[in-house]
Chains A and B, each alone.
Chain A
Amino acid sequence: MSEAPVSIAPDVFWIGALDPQLRVFDVILRTANGTTYNAYCVRGETGVAVIDTVKAEYADTFFERLEQVARYDEITVIVLNHLEPDHTGALPELMRRAPRARLYISVKAQTMLKGLLKSEDLAYTPVDTGDTVNLGGRTLTFLNTPFLHWPDTQCTYLNEEALLFSGDVFGCHFCDGRLFNDRVGDFRFSFEYYYQHIMRPFREHVRAGLDLIEPLRLDLIAPAHGPILRDAPRSYVQRYRQLAAPLLHNEASDRAKTLVIFYISSYGNTARMAQAVRDGAEEIDGVRASLYDLQGGEVTPFVDLIEEADGIVFGSPTINGDAVKPIWDLLSSLAVVSVKDKLGAAFGSYGWTGEAVSMLEDRLRGLKLRVPVTGVRVKLIPTEEELDQCRLFGRQLGKHLTGRNARRVIDMSELFKEPHHAQG
């Protein structure tokens, strides 16, 4: 394969690397046709910019391509849109070879950069939305787009060419040496898959990023992986907008808070508790509570429901000292959506020991939900009184959702007691 740079616009070159053999990226992400690490070089009258680099193993290819379009002593600017190793693998060597170059990174990338290069003494400029750097007749403008998909991520816009270097945004794992979206094979599946796995957990941030990108004129989008989008570039922006919107119209009024309750029940005890929790929550004005038996559905649509919900409650019996597998399966699938700051809670019946509830509560906290109401645990068959406690629990959850929870004052020592049974 020839290691030639590819011109993508006047004096703008692709200097990346192809990795056709890659099948699994970052442990969790699969690709059926490898990926590319896209790096770019922009030549101005007074300076040259390198935008991103490649994974370390591909550094040689990257330098070979770079050397055909610029001398190292011409390089004045290195832009890092994202500090993940697949884009910064050749950075230390590039900095050695191009000593004149100054790094341009997002404000949030600073600590990460120092960690990456194991040095405090670095020539870099932190930049924010609207900041620019001049290359002589060519201007790079930065757009701060945090959490797409790391805290440090930014996009860089070449004003004169209406060209957006978008980093991982609008990228995908798809390797085709023909590079341009109108020439490569069908990569639509890869584009969607990449969004679902990489960007979806940051839906709010995707919307904020699109607010910055949409007003720009866009003749070309040059992402950090996969095809360069020159045919109908804006259609990919529109697709992101669609993907970041709620999946279905919500019939509940805008003001209603939604609480989704998932349960599994072996003898019907946890199911009866779940009913009572729902009934309690529904007593609170402005709460729409829904009940789902996990045995009656599949994980994916439940994940969609959770993404839209304001609160999530899990009811599980304790079996062999643990919550049951379908609940853990659902919880482990939540990595692809944002659940941060939602209300979380757990409850359940048990025969011998009842640790499922506190295990689930800990996990919910780990997922960054707030878990302000301690769950109800009931031994075996719930009595009328215990069902009342479940209803009270539901009401408390409803009040927390709607911001009408009573203020409480507690002593720190209470937080470290054994999880208690139904609280008053």
Chain B
Amino acid sequence: MPKANVTFEDIGVTVTVPAGTRLIEISEKVGAGITYGCREGECATCMMKIVSGMENMSERSVLEDKVLQENMASRKHRLACQAQVLGGEVVVRPG
């Protein structure tokens, strides 16, 4: 299965994950500081910054795009409960 590497910059941990993994599946287990509210892409609590590797993330869904826009997110922001890692290297941090 194709793999990807996600680095949580705030705690200095890189996790090797199967392609398609959502950040929400691992960020809490690994102890990163991304926090969640609804866990369903509605509240934007889990907004995080993609420091690098946005090209390795899934496209924003209509829902995610709408919620990000309503919260005035920059192009570098994604919802950790929605965004999937598709391959390669991705570096994220809370915010």
Q: Which residues of A contact B (CB under 8 A)?
A: 107-108, 110-111, 126, 151, 340-341, 365, 368, 370-373, 400, 405-412, 415-416
Q: A372-B11, A372-B13, A410-B14 are in contact. List 17 more A-B contacts (CB 8 A).
A: A107-B72, A108-B70, A111-B42, A151-B43, A340-B35, A368-B35, A370-B32, A370-B33, A400-B11, A406-B12, A408-B12, A409-B14, A409-B16, A410-B15, A412-B17, A412-B18, A416-B29
B21 at the interface (CB under 8 A from A): yes
B88 at the interface (CB under 8 A from A): no
Q: Given known contacts A341-B94, A370-B32, is B15 in contact with A412 (CB within 8 Å)?
A: yes
B71 at the interface (CB under 8 A from A): yes
User: Mind listing 22 A-B residue pairs with CB under 8 Å?
Assistant: A107-B72, A111-B43, A151-B43, A341-B94, A368-B35, A370-B11, A370-B31, A371-B31, A372-B30, A405-B11, A406-B12, A409-B15, A409-B16, A410-B14, A410-B16, A410-B30, A412-B16, A412-B21, A412-B25, A415-B15, A415-B26, A415-B30
B10 at the interface (CB under 8 A from A): yes
B28 at the interface (CB under 8 A from A): yes
Which B-chain residue is minimally distant from A344 (CB atoms)? B31
Chain A neighbourhood of B24, CB < 8 A: none
CA distance A307 to B65 in the complex (A): 35
Which A-chain residue is minimally distant from B94 (CB atoms)? A341
Cβ contacts B63-90/A at 8 Å (1 or 0 each): 0000100111000000000000000000
Q: Given known contacts A111-B70, A340-B35, A341-B94, is B29 in contact with A407 (CB within 8 Å)?
A: no
B67–A111 touching, CB < 8 Å = yes
Number of A-B contacts (CB under 8 A): 65
Which B-chain residue is minimally distant from A108 (CB atoms)? B71
Q: How far is the CB of A118 from chain B (nearest CB, A)?
A: 14
Q: Which of B1-27 contact A (CB under 8 A)?
A: 5, 10-18, 21, 25-26
Which one of B11, B28, B32 has the greatest number of beta carbons of chain A within 10 Å?
A: B11
Q: How far is the CB of A402 from chain B (nearest CB, A)?
A: 12
A408–B14 touching, CB < 8 Å = yes
CA distance A400 to B72 in the complex (A): 31
CA distance A393 to B25 in the complex (A): 25
Which of the residues B15, B25, B32 comes within 8 Å of A411, measured between beta carbons? B15
CA distance A108 to B37 in the complex (A): 14
B28–A365 touching, CB < 8 Å = yes
Chain A neighbourhood of B72, CB < 8 A: 107
Chain A neighbourhood of B12, CB < 8 A: 405-408
Chain A neighbourhood of B5, CB < 8 A: 409
Which of the residues A107, A341, A408, A409 comes within 8 Å of B70, measured between beta carbons? A107
Q: Which 3 A-B pairs have the closest CB atoms?
A: A372-B31, A415-B29, A368-B35
Chain A neighbourhood of B71, CB < 8 A: 107-108
Chain B neighbourhood of A371, CB < 8 A: 31
Which A-chain residue is minimally distant from B28 (CB atoms)? A365
Which B-chain residue is minimally distant from A373 (CB atoms)? B31
Q: Given known contacts A111-B43, A341-B94, A372-B31, is B13 in contact with A407 (CB within 8 Å)?
A: yes
Which one of A365, A372, A408, A412 has the greatest number of beta carbons of chain B within 10 Å?
A: A412
Q: How far is the CB of B1 from chain A (nearest CB, A)?
A: 11
Chain A neighbourhood of B13, CB < 8 A: 372, 407-410
Chain B neighbourhood of A411, CB < 8 A: 15-16
Chain B neighbourhood of A415, CB < 8 A: 15, 26, 29-30
Chain A neighbourhood of B42, CB < 8 A: 111
Q: How far is the CB of B51 from chain A (nearest CB, A)?
A: 14
Which B-chain residue is minimally distant from A371 (CB atoms)? B31
Which one of B5, B10, B17, B35 has the greatest number of beta carbons of chain A within 10 Å?
A: B35
Chain B neighbourhood of A368, CB < 8 A: 35
Which B-chain residue is minimally distant from A407 (CB atoms)? B12
Which B-chain residue is minimally distant from A414 (CB atoms)? B15
CA distance A370 to B31 in the complex (A): 5
A370–B16 touching, CB < 8 Å = no
Which A-chain residue is minimally distant from B29 (CB atoms)? A415
Which A-chain residue is minimally distant from B45 (CB atoms)? A151
Which B-chain residue is minimally distant from A406 (CB atoms)? B12
CA distance A406 to B13 in the complex (A): 9
Chain A neighbourhood of B43, CB < 8 A: 111, 151
Chain A neighbourhood of B15, CB < 8 A: 409-412, 415
Q: How far is the CB of A189 from chain B (nearest CB, A)?
A: 32
Q: How far is the CB of A40 from chain B (nearest CB, A)?
A: 27
CA distance A96 to B28 in the complex (A): 45
CA distance A126 to B71 in the complex (A): 11
CA distance A407 to B28 in the complex (A): 17
CA distance A107 to B71 in the complex (A): 7
